[in-house]
Structure 1
Amino acid sequence: MTTWSDLLPEILNEIAEKLNFYEDSISFLSVCSSWRSSATTTANLIRHHHLLPSRFPMLMLAESKMEEDDDEQDCRSFFLLSGSMMRKVKLPEARWKPCVSTHGWLLTTGEEEFSAKLLHPLSRTQIDLPQLYMFHELYFDQDEWTYYRHFMRRVVFTSPNPNFTTDNSNTKGGSFRVVIIWGETLGFCRLGDVSWTRINGWEGNLFDITYHNTRKRLYVMATMGTIYECDILNNDALRPLTLRQLSTFPGKEFGCLCLPSAYLLEWGHNSLLMITRERKYYKKHDEEYIRYGPYSTKSFQCFELSLDDGKWSKITSLGDKSVFLGFNSSFATNAGRGMKPDCIYFTDDHYEPYLDLPDGGGGDVGVYHMFDGSIEAMFDSQESVFRGSPPLWLQSCNDQCNLVVCK
């Protein structure tokens, strides 16, 4: 009787050509070693896989805690909303490195020489970024790296894909920027820059950043929901940018006296969406504490800011959109392919309560339904518990890249 591993290359080619989704290429190459070793089949996959539609967004889970298994630690698990499937991908470049994500890419940092890189988790393509010396939170005793590395909280791009041209003039003059929040410092770089450029001009703590693709502006949210903007594309190299205050959320008008946690994202052609997050806290003897840790999400509220007239309004429905929040750039996408409409998909992006827990944290992951305020689990919360890099959402991208899967 013929087994799957004994199929002829000609049959494998026929199967590969019938794959309907980008991520199915990963599944195909993960079946067995003989399927991966078929040079013709692999070449066919690489040639046409980037033309396939994607099941993104997907959730990259926390690192495995099986420290004795080096091969296992070189892999990361991905949760695909479409079909609620788990897939494992070889990704040694992210091993024990803090990560944040945007547009399907990871921004990873390393203790050695304050390095920073863009990493595509499916192709393992890496792009060097300037060293992080500008961010003053990094000046610490090396023994404290485990704590201070957690200060990297947000990253956004000003265009969906990095510019891979080798022409320095095109690269530096293009529209691609990487913007990050590290602690209480905000900065950006272009590919090819030798250092990061500082952005100044806000008051209080930084909550979130987003780039509005229609307005071509960077928007920053700080304490009490104060919104700032700047034209990040038209500036002189290595000169600090200064934000311009645009609006402040009228909390009293909506019954929100404080904003302990909030997110900001592009919402249509002429508006921004601010989302507040309320958490409930547990004592150590509570049953919920065992599952979630010190807290879990209680509710979200959504408020729209019109960029035309500066007016705020509360919205109670996301319509046919799904929103994704966590250690990633906040984003919305049309529901479908496993994504439920009028829902907020969230992960745990609150480091501090878990620093002293031996197993880490991150159990506060789920799907919030706007219409009734209910929360459902996506999977066993222990799958997302982390000590190093937390679970984070990967946004849709159309990059051409080679697939690398675990053996």
Structure 2
Amino acid sequence: MIRLERKDEQTLKLTRELGEAAEHRLDLYLFIPGELNVDAQIIPEQEFYLQGIFVNRTYSSRAQLAPLVQSRLISRSATQSDRPDPKYRLSLSLYAYQYVIAIEAAGRNLLSTGEVSREEIGELLELTSTILKRLRRNVPKDSGLSRYHVNIDNYLSWQTEQQLLMLAARLPFADDQQDLRDILVKVAKREHQYRDEQKYNSSVVNDDSTRMSNKMRLLRRLIEYPITFKRKTQELGVGEQRWLKATVAAVVMTLVSFLLFESRLILGDITAMFLLVAALLYGAREFFRDDIRQKIWLWLRKGRPKWKHTYVDVNSEQTIGRSLEWLDYMPYEELPEEIRKARKGSAPQRGETVLHYRNDSKMLPTRFLSGYVETRESIVLDLDLIMRVMNPSSHSVYRVSDNEVVEENVEKRYVLNLVVRDVEGDGRVILQRFRIVVNHARIIDVELSE
């Protein structure tokens, strides 16, 4: 299942869990309203790729609230001595990351059902309490590892508090279920009190929500770094482009030299007429050379990948996967039939600009960390480049209210459609369409279309 959510005012975050299959293919078709007149001249593909698409992969597991590395971590913590285990940081990060992903997934599942179950709330609270207690049972003796443990414990406590308070605020509790809301708030307060007792954060940070959020964002990065794959990028076709440039220059120069030689034979000695012909030939060379090279280059690279990535485990420094990526503008008529059906295109919609991103990857699960056979991919889409060409104006809308004509000022909004197709190695296909409502400054709403 693919999930798309708003990350901040101008960015979207697409997340997908990659199963045990080694090969995967992802296609993103972004339909941009035709009135914006977006094309390769306004927003070049490479510019959008470099500034608007950010991809990372981490280890993942289907075990939701029971981290796979749990037993290994506890045993290492219990036997910690004056000689610290060099893999302790990795084990602790794996433990914390699995817990964070699990509690976030549990929160989303509870909110998506629209119902409150005492059993589910009770299980969530019991498991969070058990996992945090196991983490806090043994603190490493080494001072460096102890500080790392404190940072992880600080973040997990804060994240647990935030998730429980979110559920208390958003879940539709019935009148006879208000005690569940009180329990969630009570456990959240207990985590807050725990951090105060441990003196994890200064009073200045505790009193400033912005500073606290920024600090926790940095601690989240601390957790994710050891389990996030290093991504090495290589742009394809660079050497081919140089050879094409040299070849076109040689052919055009040969043609111009031949024409100059013929002109010299016809016109005789160097005269004003010969100089005029030479100037026209050199001008024509400059006029056509770049156009010829560009058209040949587009023909050669059409349908071929533009970037190659290598994924490296930051712990073992082993290559554990590779991927190829495409980014092109596509005419509506060239879209696959299933994509057009998913878009539900009509005559007005065929004026839309379609930006197609493709990602083909092949992983090597045999080189993964012990206990892990799956990965999790996050793609951040920054819509800032598209928002820059949007009209910031507003207009008036009139309506009748109590027999009075009311004038309302309405901002101009645009609807982007994102069709996502995920193909696994076994041939299983997931096809989804999302509607993204935006204005010139921010993303207003993201919804999954039926």
TM-score bin, normalised by smaller chain? under 0.3
TM-score using structure 1 length: 0.27
Higher CA-based Rg:
2
More helix by share: 2
More strand by share: 1
